[in-house]
Structure 1
């Protein structure tokens, strides 16, 4: 298992109401916005109240169920008792997936530049492989060089840069049979 700083082990865990305080701490650090990709937040989700948080977590768990109209596996990136980020694996090739990609993630600022995103992305690519997906689409802001580098480290091949309603975006394809090189840990 990947150890980001030699003391705690990273894990991908299913969303749980037990991490309410830890999740709120992470969200406070980065603030609300589009960079929360991987968490499946909708504008009307009430994550500030305990009851709203429980309802939101329930929706995320239901999105992974076989019966869901839109299937997506959500995982939170956890180190000890801290939520470092979230990652989502979206199923299918519908219009939404073609616009935002099969995988989306977000990492809190204090956990960036440590290999956390590369580790999480490699783990969710392995899950896509188990599910029989041949390749996955990833989309990131054209100016987000950190995400572009992470995607490329995990085998992403740039398809194109395109203009979208939110600005320029890079579109990458990753063949899920590919295995990323080990990530060097920064001191």
Structure 2
């Protein structure tokens, strides 16, 4: 049974396994990974997870964990700022070996409840135009397509979900 957990340094090895499966780069949506984060050293990983699990003024970050393995991540951004304008209120990613099992939809449903709980009435979700799996997941959870918009990272599909 999967669970959403607060990022923790005790899953350092499990997170590194998931990160390695994605390959190099910062493309794991939902993990809040920045180019300056040192996830390889014990101290750096602890600092990163402390930042992610700290007071959620701007974002709530959770890991999707099952059987002691990090299967993915999801983040809820609380404010409709410039970053959310192009990245959306909620970003999620599932490691390749855990895809096509419903984990993204389950985690998104949980995070939509969290969004409702902090008083959001409507959330924006975006995905790359070629990411049909994410588009289908968003649509299954009530996402209404708005438009395709060009961003610095390429074109994205924009969806709104009323809460």
TM-score by length of 2: 0.96
CA deviation map 1:116-168 (0-9, x unaligned): 10000000001111111101000110110010001001100011001111111
Contact 2:26/2:33 (CA < 8 Å) preserved in 1?
no
- 2:87 pairs with 71, 90, 100, which one? 100
Q: 1:172 aligns with which of 147, 159, 162?
A: 159
**What is the aligned partner in structure 2 of residue 5 from structure 1?**
none
Distance between the aligned counterparts of 1:88 and 1:105, measured in 2?
Answer: 6
Alpha-carbon distance in structure 2 between the residues aligned to 1:111 and 1:35: 16
Give the Cα–Cα distance (whole angstroms) in 1 for the partners of residues 121 and 161 of structure 2. 9
Unaligned 5+ residue runs, structure 2? none
Which of 37, 40, 44 aligns to 1:45? It is 37
Which consecutive aligned stretches of 4+ in structure 1 deviate over 2 angstroms post-superposition? Answer: 32-35
- Bigger radius of gyration among the two: 1
Deviation at 1:30, TM superposition (A): 0.9
Check 1:82–1:148 CA distance in 2 against 1; reply closer, same or farther (3 A cut). Answer: same
1:28 matches 2:20: yes
Gapped regions of structure 1 (runs ≥ 5): 1-8, 177-187
Residue 32 of structure 1, CA deviation? 3.3
* Matched residues, number: 163
Check if 1:154 corresponds to 2:150. no
Contact 2:2 2:66 in 1 (8 A): yes
Query: SS at 1:35's partner residue?
Result: coil
In the TM superposition, 1:21-170 aligns within 5 A as: 21-62=13-54, 64=56, 66=57, 71-170=58-157
TM superposition shift of 1:35: 3.0
Q: Partners of 1:34 and 1:20 in 2: how far apart?
A: 17
What's the RMSD between the two structures over aligned residues?
A: 1.0
Deviations 1:27-55 (A, max 9, x none): 11112335311000000110011110001
**Scaled by the length of structure 1, what TM-score is found?**
0.84
